Structure 1
Amino acid sequence: MNWQAVVSIYRFEMARFFRTLAQSFISPVLSTSLYFVVFGTAIGSRIAEVEGVSYGAFIVPGLIMLSVMTQALSNASFGIYFPKFIGTIFELLSAPVNFLEIVLGYVGAAATKALFIGVVILATSALFVDLSIAHPLAMILFLVLTCISFSLFGFIIGIWAKNFEQLQLIPLLVVTPLVFLGGAFYSIAMLPPVWQIITKFNPVVYLISGFRWSFFGVADVPIVTSLLAIGGFTALCLGAIWWIFKTGWRIRQ
């Protein structure tokens, strides 16, 4: 393993993040505050509690997941797409660096950025509502796994995309709606029986449910199912990336 190459890629990507540090942190803080104003105040005044948890606190895990998923996707996809766009990816591919080291560098940096944003949103949420974390180790595990898995997914999107429009297509038109429809701001138990069954085909449900369980000890699906879902998604992304580098799809073509 060429750790020097991994660290070099990681440091380069993190340097880009720290150059826009204020923007990177101010944006999620403002977004989180607006969500609390809109959902916490407007809807929270009509819904006092959900499964024994105040509505303002109940939406916190969903808010964190929404930001972490979108940030991991955008950072990882742009990180690998930009070298493709300017042509420097061929220098990387010709260097004595294998695909695993490239993935570790780019995905590691994207996951770290998303983790920072998740912590910032958690701290911001604590200013609005009283939070208690029932299972802190499980919370960290779900947060880290989500950062890694969606950074891997974003890496795939960055390789697939042929232009900047395609780069934003899946995060905006697929992932964000899935998060909103995946129980980020409500419990799927509040839905009619038919829609509860349909909603369980949404993979994001399992991530948000498991993450919410780590806070309040309540979940829409069994915690083991949530862990299997995120583990399977991570394995699927790793397999896809291995195939991409093996065949050179959208890299050497």
Structure 2
Amino acid sequence: MNFEAVKAIYLFEMARTWRTLLQSIVSPVVSTSLYFVVFGAAIGSRITQVEGVSYGTFIVPGLVMLSVLTQSITNASFGIYFPKFIGTIYEILSAPVSYFEIVLGYVGAAATKSIILGLIILATAGLFVPLHIQHPVWMLAFLVMTAVTFSLFGFIVGIWADGFEKLQMIPLLIITPLTFLGGSFYSISMLPPGWQTIALFNPVVYLISGFRWSFYEIADVSVSVSIGMTLGFLAICMLLVWWIFRTGYRLKN
């Protein structure tokens, strides 16, 4: 393992975050805070509780997941796409660095940024609503698993994309709608039976459900199923990354 190479890639990507602090950290935190204000005032006054939890408190895990998912994909996809765009990716590929070390550096940095952002948003949420985390270890575990999994997915998107518009297409047109429809602002048990069945095909439901369980011990699906679905998606992303480097898909041509 070439730890110096991993460290160099990791620190370079983290340095980019501090240079763009307003865009990377401040903007997502402000946007999420607006969700608390708008939904807490507009909907919270009409829905006092969801499964025994006040509505403002209930939506906290969903809002954290919304930010972590989108930022993981955005950070990882831009991190690998930009070297492709300016041509420095060939210097990395020709260096004495393994594919695993390249992925570890880029994905590790993207996941770290998302975890930091998630914790900041969580701390910010405590200013608006009272928070009680029943299982802090599992909360961190779900946060880390989600950040790593979707950073890997973002890495794949960054390699697949051949233009800046495609970097935004997946988060905006797919991930964000799936997150909104995945129980971020409601429990899927509130839906009609037919829509509940359809919602179970949304992978984001399992992420939000498991994360919310770590806070309030309430979940739309079994916690073991949530963990299994998250690890399964992580395994699929790892296989895709392995195939990309094995074939050189959009890297060597």
TM-score range, shorter chain: over 0.9
Matches within 5 A, 1:216-231: 216-231=216-231
SS in 2 for 1:185: coil
Deviation at 1:24, TM superposition (A): 2.5
* Aligned match of 2:129: 129
The answer to whether the Cα contact below 8 Å between 1:32 and 1:124 also exists between their aligned partners in 2 is no
Alignment partners' CA distance in 1, 2:232 and 2:42: 37
- 1:42 Cα deviation after fit: 0.3
Task: Give the C-alpha shift of residue 118 in structure 1.
Answer: 0.2
- The 1-side partners of 2:45 and 2:218 are apart by 22
Alpha-carbon displacement from aligned partner over 1:95-145 (angstroms, at most 9, x marks no partner)? 011110000000000000001110110011000000000110000000000
More divergent stretch after superposition (8-17 vs 19-28): 19-28
**Matching residue of 2:203:** 203
Structure 1 distance, partners of 2:28, 2:92, is: 32
Q: Separation in 2 of the partners of 1:105 and 1:52?
A: 42
Alignment gaps of 5+ in structure 2: none
Q: Give the residue type in structure 1 aligned to 2:232.
A: G
Partner amino acid for 1:70? T
Q: Kindly state the Cα deviation for residue 237 of structure 1 after the two structures are TM-superposed.
A: 0.2
Partner of 1:240: 240
Q: Deviations over 1:167-221 (max 9, x none)?
A: 1111100000000000000000000000000000000000000000000000000
Alpha-carbon distance in structure 2 between the residues aligned to 1:44 and 1:112: 32
Inter-partner Cα distance in structure 1 for 2:75 and 2:105: 12
Q: Deviation of residue 76 (structure 1)?
A: 0.1
Q: Which residue of 1 aligns with 2:107?
A: 107
What is the alpha-carbon distance in structure 2 between the residues aligned to residue 95 and residue 28 of structure 1? 35
Distance across 2 between alignment mates of 1:214 and 1:228:
16
Cα distance between partner residues in 2 of 1:121 and 1:191: 28
Q: Does 1:24 align with 2:27?
A: no
| Deviation for aligned residue 1:33 | 1.7
Structure 1 segments (4+ residues) deviating >3 Å: none
* Residue 26 of structure 1: how far off its partner (Å): 1.8
Q: Which residue of 2 aligns with 1:213?
A: 213
Supply the distance in 2 between the matched residues of 1:24 and 1:153 (Cα, whole angstroms). Answer: 19
- 1:9 equivalenced with 2:9 (yes/no): yes
Who is 1:120 aligned against? 120
CA distance in 2, matches of 1:242, 1:29: 34
Q: Give the Cα separation in 1 of the matches to 2:162 and 2:32.
A: 32
How far apart, in 2, do the equivalents of 1:23 and 1:124 lie?
17
Contact 1:47 1:55 in 2 (8 A): yes
Aligned partner of residue 6 in structure 2, secondary structure: helix
**What's the C-alpha RMSD, in Å, of the aligned pairs?**
0.7
TM-score, normalising length: structure 2: 0.99
Deviation (angstroms), 1:27: 1.0
Alignment map for 1:144-155 (pairs within 5 Å): 144-155=144-155
Deviations along 1:24-69, one digit per CA (max 9) or x if unpaired, are: 3221221122101111110000000000000000000000000000
Mapped to 1, the partners of 2:20 and 2:86 lie a distance apart of: 21
Gap runs ≥5 in structure 1: none
Inter-partner Cα distance in structure 1 for 2:2 and 2:89:
18
Alignment-derived partner of residue 91 in structure 2: 91
Of all paired residues, the percent bearing the same amino acid is 68
Between the aligned partners of 2:22 and 2:30, the Cα distance in structure 1 is 12
Alignment CA distance shift 1:173-1:36 (3 Å): same
